[in-house]
Amino acid sequence: MKATFRTPKTYKGWIGLFSILIIVLLGSWPVIPLLNHETILFGMPILMVWSVILIFLTTGTLMALNKMGVNE
């Protein structure tokens, strides 16, 4: 089976791709060392708060993309 990378064909598809890429970058190397402190926020370490924010951000973005009809 040949694996290929398919690029989006519509403007909505490109918006979806870049919004997911931005969320992935927010949860990866450049941001994590900035938040890896012992600071407590809402009773949790700030890195854990950031993880919860990323979960809600990802869920909200996917819901918005679904409403836009990107998956059609």
The 10s digit of each residue's pLDDT in 10-69 is: 898 899 999 999 999 998 888 888 888 888 988 999 999 999 999 999 999 999 999 988
Sequence-separated (6 or more) residues with CB below 8 Å from residue 69: 12
Classify residue 3 as left (phi > 0), alpha (psi -120 to 50) or beta: beta
Task: Classify residue 28: in a domain, yes or no.
Answer: no
User: Please, are residues 62 and 17 in contact by the beta-carbon 8 Å criterion?
Assistant: no
pTM greater than 0.75: yes
Task: Classify residue 42: in a domain, yes or no.
Answer: yes
Total domains in the chain come to 1
Task: Classify residue 51: in a domain, yes or no.
Answer: yes
The domain of 54 spans 34-65
Task: Classify residue 38: in a domain, yes or no.
Answer: yes
Task: Classify residue 39: in a domain, yes or no.
Answer: yes
